[in-house]
Structure 1
Amino acid sequence: MPDRDLTALTARVRRLEDESAITRLIMSYGPAADAGLTAFAGQLWTEDGEYDWDANGTPHHGGAGVDAMLQSDGHQNLIAAGVAHFAGPLLIDVDGDAATALNYSLIMRRDGGRFYLWRVSAVRWDLVRLDTGWRVQRRTNRLLDETGAGRELFCHSLTELFAGAAGT
């Protein structure tokens, strides 16, 4: 096998490994949040990372901020009553030691004996590779509602990630 073919194959395998690691990281957040594993969920973020959960809210800072938010009475009451965080498939773009992922976040709540869809958000994950692996530098959530914030987040992110692609 020529060196350039081996180099290309190595790069392809690394990209696939990166996408797999990023998927595992992001997809572990919801089950950890629902299980009350607050420290586990918090350690997914960098020390200086942000969780920008609401266009009108104050972001949570770093893993400690995410941990504290998940320990709050508001979140603890939700999981005690039965809540499920569901993440849609990820659209991942890896660029060296940085990556961006987009997906939908659906939150189900329980009411009596049935579950219903409570919230649907557009989500952008900005990630960095550290010596310890991939971590969340910033997670931005915007509701898909009449404000248009979720649509704007997807529009700006897709335009940024795929500038020059057909249709953009």
Structure 2
Amino acid sequence: MCDHEERLRYAMEEHEYLAPDQATVWARIELLAQIYRRRSLILRSAGSVVLSAGLVAGLVQMHTFIQGGVAALPPAATPSAAVPQSPAATTRPPAPRIAPTRSPPPAPGELEMDAYFEAGYGWTEAEELARLWRFRDPSDAKVEGGRRLLAGERLPIRPSS
């Protein structure tokens, strides 16, 4: 037994110079940790930039949606109409004629959906029609129902309203 212990001790002493210096190992660990921290900071910054860009794009889109969806006030509701003016001030030169702008064509299925809702049908009827006509989506049943209503046909169920 003692022979094995001595052989082991001798082998360890003989190969002790192969172990790396502790200071070198620690310096390498510090360098790698610094690199990983820097990468983490860069990735978090990139994520923040992407999130911020998405928020800005959403705000811009919401702003254009709101501006496009707001109706103009009628002339009687404008603040300037409430102030009495002299007869000379009320005559205005005629406004220049502006060529009518064409509205974009309706989205596919939009006319059918409008016809469906104008006939008094709602979501519950769409679900029933989807079961009858074997559609997976009740929205498809609304489009088909609107198409049939525009063609002058009657739907197999009555509207609830």
Q: Judging by fraction of residues, say which structure has more strand.
A: 1
Higher gyration radius (CA) = 2
- Normalised by the size of structure 2, how large is the TM-score? 0.27
Greater RCO (CA < 8 Å, at least 6 residues apart): 1
Q: Judging by fraction of residues, say which structure has more helix.
A: 2
